[in-house]
Structure 1
Amino acid sequence: MSILLINRDKGIKLSEILSEVKHELVVLSMYDLPDSDEFKYFEVIPNLRDLTYYLELKAIELHQEYYFKKVIAEDEFDLIRAARLREYFNIEGQTVESAVAFRDKVKMKDYLKGKVDLPEYQALTSASVLHDFVRNYGFPIVVKPRDKAGAQGVNIINNQEELYNFSKTKWDYDLQIETFISGDMYHVDAVVEEGNITMLSVSKYINSCLSFFSKNNILGSYQIHPEAEMYKRLEDYFKKVLSFLPTPRVCAYHMEVFHTQEDKIILCEIASRIGGGYILDTFKQAYSVDVLSYLYRRWCDLPVDKPSPKNTNKLFGFLLIPPQDGVLLSIPEEIKYDWVLKYDKNGEVGKRYNNPSYFTDKIAGIMIEGHSSQDVLDKLFYIENWYNNEVKWDLSLDKEPEKVLNNVSS
């Protein structure tokens, strides 16, 4: 009996997280791992995201030799393929129905229609659908992929000219169309086991995922205190949403909602996976638990320490700094404020960058702590202004990076 694990994390230490069963692991990984010699079988599949059928064919062949009792996948883009394999092998875990419900934004809303507030929505299958939707609901509208993540491929269309421009682009994936919702955006992140919430965090976004890509704005969020009214309200809303969806036995969730000026909570979407950015880090600070390790052990039926709130008098937030369309001239080497818990400097001086297409394109990530939501928010704005003054760009795209740096140094 073995455990099939599909991996996209280049820094994960599976032999430590799953030490009791490391010799049972059959790992198909996007990256080489330093502890791979401790697994029963290991193979690197560099373009893991694209080779859907190779991975599944390989897994079926390996199952004949190693006989899997578990299929584990944490990344959002692997959930459906992992579910297909579970059903083929007739083993427990998230089903295809469940994985699709949390991946396909149209089917997701179909489950929830009439039960919670949603935007008006429809699968975008033809020009006539696009035309009629605009005629019925007017501008602005939102067009986005049914199964992408992190605002990839999202278009906000404000008028007829933008509609025509969009109609001239190639649609490379299944799309949905929905009405634009104006309001603040919150995210709820949780681990749920056997219907019970083990860990939960409610946070409010600064800007939005879309503005990170379309306007090169920072993306950030800050936690809401568990005793705040909005925390309790969104916790109850989260439970309600889950009650109408096919949920696995043990799972993490990332839900995004709009809070409108009319005080309505409207679902944006919900995914059956851990949130991105520094959400894992904020959970670790709040609960003294590495959520990913916790989930892997629960999925393998291994013992875990019970999570308990660690910093009840502290809240946490983070910023992701996007690149500009130009050459990076300077970037801070460190941040010396004691309330900055983590600073990841990803930008390389002298490198030419383009506008970001995903969160991994950030030039820096910063996590901070504070004593209240307002304290965290104030510090995030402060560090954003400080950082923008420190980082320097050359945005003249007609110059080579070497020449730009030579001009600066002279």
Structure 2
Amino acid sequence: MILVLLSPRNAGLPFAEWLREQSGRLLAVTVEGVALGPGFLDVERVADYTDDAAVLAAARRMADRHGVTRVLALAEVDVERAAALRAEFGLPGQLPASARAYRDKVLMKELAATGGVPVPPFAAVASAADVAAFMAANPGPIVVKPRGGSGSTGVAVLHDPAQIAEVADRVTDGDHEVEGYVTGRMCHVDALHVGGEPVVCVPSVYTDGGCLSHWTDSGNGSWTLPTVDPLYERLVTETWRLVGALPAAPALFVHAEFFVTDAGEIVLCEIAGRVGGTPIPAMLEAVLGLDPRHLWARIECGLPVELDAVRAHAAAAPLVANFGLPPRDGRIVRLPARAPAGARNFTVLARLGEDWGGARYAGRKSGDFIATWLVTADDAEELLALVDKTGAEAEAGFGWEPSPAPEARSEGAAR
């Protein structure tokens, strides 16, 4: 039986359809309050899905009741958990040494540099003094981030040593890194590697601001590079070099991010051993012919996949861009009445009256969107013009008002 580590964000995915041979025999570990779709035989729920010990204990209880043959994880938070369980249960798939390298941003850069992949200056930090020492040795802006974070959560860009106080409390556990700030275009590459062989590699360029655009309430997305662009083959080469530098696994679906400097150098930002977050899966589905999470779930679970069909579809696909609007600091009072002209897969992810203010706004991730969509075109100029046009139309369709004051929220709840 297949054990699915089911992050709340992935609870609505059609696992019974994707893993049809195992429908009715799937097992899940998820959080309390999550309703499972069809296809699951048994479920263990935990109170807090961020609690590694609780999730692993629930998985062991499940394994005691059933014969687990595979462990499937789609979320970043589950990559190392799934690897630990495979090692413990003697199951195939990515194991801890590989999973850790794709999660720990210090370790991955050490391995990447040894493998010949350019990386920015970086260091592990465990105190404000460590950050100060790094800034003294590396003039210019720096970036402080969690070693195992995702979605740009907890990332801080510091321009002056006086700003170190803003991150002093969070770096004391030794689970953060600091690196030099790299200017230039930001790209991502989504790639599938099976049985030691590359299957498909899709280089893309983020729109202006990239995954930090939500800091300024700006929409963001990415678009697939034409194969004739000189950067295309360079990004493909660097991605496979990076995969070769990190510990191997029987199969990998990776989401790598690179900076391309003004001088044309490709520098690693980071790489994750999973499918990219929303709205990248929809864009990749247009390229690959099926949802990449569907593709990866079948491969990870040892079920048959027509890899040649995936290759052929990717070779013939048009240029595709994804785009999403981030939430504002307030409450939604109007939703778009229709999809922007030219938009495909337009999905409103917010509700009328939904409140994104206060702590929720402060803790927003780069993958938190109120609407997402795709556009396609035959050339890059047409594609990017369509991104701008649909973005303006979608933004105009939403209405916002300030969130109620905290005391007003409390009074409303009391009534």
- Fold shared per TM-score above 0.5: yes
Instruction: Name the CA distance, whole Å, in 2 between partners of 1:60 and 1:313.
Output: 43
1:284 matched to which residue of 2?
A: 285
1:373 alignment counterpart: 380
Aligned to 1:98: 98
The residue identity in structure 2 corresponding to 1:358 is K
Contact 2:347 2:371 in 1 (8 A): yes
Q: Which residue of 2 aligns with 1:4?
A: 3
Deviation, structure 1 residue 171: 5.3
Decide whether the 8 Å contact of 2:12 with 2:36 is kept in 1. yes
Matches within 5 A, 1:32-47: 32-35=35-38, 38-45=39-46, 47=48
- Pair 1:172–1:363, CA change in 2 (3 A): farther
1:3-402 matches, within 5 Å, as 3-8=2-7, 9-30=10-31, 31-35=34-38, 38-45=39-46, 47-48=48-49, 50-114=50-114, 115-167=116-168, 174-306=175-307, 307=310, 308-309=312-313, 312=316, 314-337=318-341, 339-354=342-357, 355=361, 357-359=364-366, 361-395=368-402
Q: Which amino acid aligns with 1:317?
A: A
CA separation of 1:392 and 1:68: change in aligned 2, threshold 3 A: closer
Q: What's the offset of the Cα at 1:342?
A: 1.4
- Tell whether the 8 Å contact from 2:126 to 2:171 is kept in structure 1 after alignment: no
CA contact 1:313–1:371 (8 Å) conserved in 2 = no
SS for the counterpart of 1:200 is strand
Bigger mean CA offset, 383-392 vs 177-186: 383-392
Query: What do you get for the CA RMSD once the two structures are aligned?
Result: 2.4
Deviation at 1:135, TM superposition (A): 1.0
Q: Structure 1: where are the runs of 5+ without partners?
A: 403-410
SS in 1 for 2:100: helix
- Separation in 1, partners of 2:347, 2:408: 23
Residues of 1 paired with 2:403 and 2:97: CA distance?
50
How far 1:282 sits from its partner (Å)? 1.6
CA distance in 1, matches of 2:383, 2:172: 41
Alignment partners' CA distance in 2, 1:336 and 1:290: 23
Which stretch has the larger CA shift, 230-239 or 378-387? 378-387
CA separation of 1:387 and 1:158: change in aligned 2, threshold 3 A: same
Q: Hey, what's the Cα distance between the residues in 2 that align with 1:65 and 1:398? A: 49
Q: Which residue of 2 aligns with 1:406?
A: none
User: Which letter does structure 2 place at the counterpart of 1:345?
Assistant: V
Quick check: 52-61 or 179-188, which moved more? 52-61
Judged with a 3 Å threshold, the aligned counterparts in structure 2 of structure 1 residues 4 and 268 are, in CA distance, closer, same or farther, namely same
- Cα distance in 2 for partners of 1:392, 1:60 equals 47
TM-score (norm 1): 0.89
One-letter amino acid of the structure 2 residue matched with residue 134 of structure 1: M
CA offsets 1:121-156 (integer angstroms, 9 cap, x no match): 000112332221111112311100000101110000
Question: Given the superposition, is the C-alpha separation of residues 272 and 329 from structure 1 closer, same or farther in structure 2, using an over 3 Å criterion?
Answer: same
Judged with a 3 Å threshold, the aligned counterparts in structure 2 of structure 1 residues 123 and 399 are, in CA distance, closer, same or farther, namely closer
Aligned residue-pair number: 397
Q: Distance in 1 between matches of 2:206 and 2:72?
A: 30
Contact 1:185 1:259 in 2 (8 A): yes
1:35-84 deviation digits (Å, cap 9, x = unpaired): 1xx43322333532x23212212322332332322222121111111111
Moved more, 231-240 or 68-77: 68-77
Distance apart, 1:397 and its partner CA: 6.6
Q: In the alignment, is the contact (CA less than 8 A) between 1:207 and 1:218 conserved in 2?
A: no
Tell me the residue number matched to 1:408: none
Q: Distance in 1 between matches of 2:317 and 2:68?
A: 44
Flag the 1:347–1:57 CA change in 2: closer, same or farther, 3 A. Answer: closer
One-letter amino acid matched to 2:6 = N
Judged with a 3 Å threshold, the aligned counterparts in structure 2 of structure 1 residues 169 and 247 are, in CA distance, closer, same or farther, namely closer
In 2 relative to 1, CA 295–166 (structure 1 residues): closer, same or farther, beyond 3 Å?
closer
* Whole-Å separation in 1 of the counterparts to 2:68 and 2:405: 55
> Per the alignment, do residues 349 and 247 of structure 1 end up closer, same or farther by CA in structure 2, a change over 3 Å counting?
same
2:167 aligned counterpart, secondary structure: helix
Distance, in Å, in 1 between the alignment partners of 2:203 and 2:285 is 14
CA contact (8 A) 1:323 1:362 kept: yes
1:284-318 CA distances to partner (integer Å, 9 max, x unpaired)?
Answer: 21221222222222222222223121683621111
- Cα distance 1:265–1:328, how it changes in 2: closer, same or farther (>3 A)? same
Give me the TM-score of the superposition, normalised by structure 2. Answer: 0.88
Report the CA distance between 1:240 and its aligned residue.
0.8
How far residue 392 of structure 1 moved from its aligned partner, in angstroms, is 3.1
Counterpart AA for 2:215:
S
Take 1:351 and 1:63, find their aligned partners in 2: how far apart are those partners? 39
Task: Report the alpha carbon displacement of residue 341 of structure 1 after superposing the two structures with TM.
Answer: 0.8
Residue of structure 2 in register with 1:407 after alignment: none
Runs of 4+ in 1 over 4 A off after TM superposition: 168-173, 395-402
1:6/1:319 CA distance change after superposition, 3 Å: same
* Change over 3 Å in CA distance of 1:195–1:210 after alignment to 2: same
Give the Cα–Cα distance (whole angstroms) in 1 for the partners of residues 26 and 274 of structure 2. Answer: 21
Any stretches of 5+ residues in structure 2 without a counterpart?
A: 410-415
* Identical pairs, percent: 25
* Structure 1 residues 140 and 336: CA distance shift in structure 2, 3 A: closer
